[in-house]
């Protein structure tokens, strides 16, 4: 009970200490082991989380909460098939669990089976219509499938339940941009910039939109804000950046004639699906993730059952397969390499014809 009180107060560290002492007195209590494993999972300590969840499953193999959490860990690391096998076990015990269908849907999203993902997520939404994470994921999948009106619908609903999350406004702006509602897209980006003070992707997307609309001064301002956030992130952590984000940022810097001093770290595969969605300009929109990377991070936190702020999903691996034209046509397309060699073919043919004529004349 004391641990639950600490959780209600938001004091996760103190709650963990209480549950650790409780496990020492009752090492075979599966509820305590599962709760402690979920808390470590929420903090990102996967080693200790796996240890406690494994102990809980050892004493009670039918503990669906521990099985669901273990599956979400495997899902977060990209092992979608293994995670689905875990969820199949849970489905026989708790078939009406919203986090279960949310996680199954995001597994299919990671496997690029988008129709199956939407079916599972809509079932989760039917079971828990007020869960903003499920609505976020539905918006994410519809963005990936270039169904922008449906994405707008679900992202707007998610914003109603989570109005202080800047990334939701950013994705909503991406949908509005592709629906050619530029004014409302700008308002949505302004709200995202005001709410999110650490994600450079928000400023980069806004800069791309402003540049495509001819507002180079505004685009430069947002690009400089993005540089500040990137530098702050490099100083405070070793976080790597998505390669597609780096590519667009470099093109943006070249277009604005800035950014030579910005040094990017080695790109990683993190949050690729969501960042792809955000990096789309007016003519393109391919997706992230909550994501998957974020989408998977949300799915994982939903499985844990705690209202922690969603993280950009680690290792979602749910990249969109859609062809993505460059949002910034800054570099000229390279001309065909074979074009200079084309005249050589008719020249060789003429020489052969001349030789044949000479040989015929000699024979005559």
Measured distance CA(160)–CA(137) in Å, rounded = 15
Q: Is the confidence at residue 264, as pLDDT, over 90?
A: no
Residue with the larger pLDDT of the pair 117 and 41? 117
Reported as a pLDDT band with limits 50, 70 and 90, residue 53 is confident
Q: Is the confidence at residue 270, as pLDDT, over 80?
A: no
Mean of all residue pLDDT scores within the chain: 74
Measured distance CA(136)–CA(167) in Å, rounded = 10
Tell me: the pLDDT tens digits for 185-213?
A: 999 999 999 998 888 888 889 989 998 88
Q: Is the confidence at residue 285, as pLDDT, over 60?
A: no
Measured distance CA(35)–CA(294) in Å, rounded = 23
Measured distance CA(241)–CA(264) in Å, rounded = 8
pLDDT for 356 equals: 64
Alpha carbon distance, N-terminus to C-terminus of the chain: 113
Contact residues for 62 (Cβ-Cβ < 8 A; gap 6+) = 93
The whole-number average pLDDT for the span 262-276 is 42
Reported as a pLDDT band with limits 50, 70 and 90, residue 333 is very low
Measured distance CA(291)–CA(277) in Å, rounded = 10
Q: Is the confidence at residue 138, as pLDDT, over 90?
A: yes
CA 116 to chain CA mean position, Å: 18
**5-19, 49-63, 147-161, 266-280: range with lowest mean pLDDT:** 266-280
pLDDT for 65 equals: 85
The three-class DSSP label of residue 288 is strand
Reported as a pLDDT band with limits 50, 70 and 90, residue 99 is very high
The three-class DSSP label of residue 45 is coil
In terms of pTM, does the model score above 0.85? Answer: no
Are 66 and 30 a contacting pair, CB within 8 Å? yes
The secondary structure of the chain in percent helix, strand, coil, rounded to multiples of 5, reads 70, 0, 30
Q: Is the confidence at residue 276, as pLDDT, over 60?
A: no
pLDDT for 281 equals: 39
Are 214 and 182 a contacting pair, CB within 8 Å? no
From the DSSP assignment, how many helices (H) and strands (E) are in the chain? 18, 0
At 288, give phi and psi (nearest 5°): -90, 165
DSSP assignment of 155-192, as one string? HHHHHHH-TT-HHHHHHHHHHHHHTT-HHHHHHHHHHH
């Amino acid at each position: 009970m004391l641990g639950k009180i600490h959780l209600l107060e938001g004091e996760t560290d103190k709650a963990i200490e209480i549950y650790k002492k409780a496990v020492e007195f009752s090492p075979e209590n599966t509820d305590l082991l599962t709760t402690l494993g979920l808390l470590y999972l929420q903090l990102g300590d996967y080693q200790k989380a796996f240890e406690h969840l494994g102990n809980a499953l050892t004493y009670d193999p039918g503990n669906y909460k521990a099985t669901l959490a273990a599956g979400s860990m495997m899902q977060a690391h990209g092992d979608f098939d293994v995670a689905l096998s875990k969820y199949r076990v849970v489905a026989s015990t708790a078939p009406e669990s919203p986090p279960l269908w949310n996680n199954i849907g995001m597994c299919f999203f990671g496997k690029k089976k988008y129709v199956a993902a939407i079916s599972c997520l809509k079932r989760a939404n039917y079971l828990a219509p007020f869960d903003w994470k499920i609505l976020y994921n539905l918006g994410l999948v519809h963005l990936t499938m270039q169904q922008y009106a449906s994405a707008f619908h679900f992202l707007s609903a998610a914003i109603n339940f989570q109005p202080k999350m800047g990334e939701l406004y950013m994705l909503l702006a991406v949908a509005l941009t592709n629906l050619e509602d530029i004014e409302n897209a700008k308002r949505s980006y302004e709200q995202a910039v005001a709410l999110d003070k650490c994600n450079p992707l928000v400023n980069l997307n806004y800069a791309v939109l402003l540049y495509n609309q001819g507002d180079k001064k505004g685009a430069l301002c947002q690009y400089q804000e993005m540089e500040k956030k990137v530098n702050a992130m490099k100083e405070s952590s070793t976080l790597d950046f998505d390669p597609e984000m780096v590519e667009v940022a470099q093109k943006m810097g070249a277009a604005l004639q800035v950014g030579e001093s910005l040094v990017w770290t080695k790109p990683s595969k993190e949050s690729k699906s969501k960042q792809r969605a955000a990096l789309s300009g007016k003519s393109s929109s391919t997706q992230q993730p909550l994501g998957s990377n974020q989408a998977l991070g949300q799915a994982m936190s939903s499985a844990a059952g705690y209202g922690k702020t969603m993280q950009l999903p680690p290792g979602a691996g749910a990249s969109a397969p859609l062809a993505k034209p460059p949002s910034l046509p800054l570099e000229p397309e390279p001309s065909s390499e074979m074009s200079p060699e084309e005249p050589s073919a008719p020249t060789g043919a003429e020489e052969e014809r001349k030789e044949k004529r000479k040989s015929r004349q000699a024979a005559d």
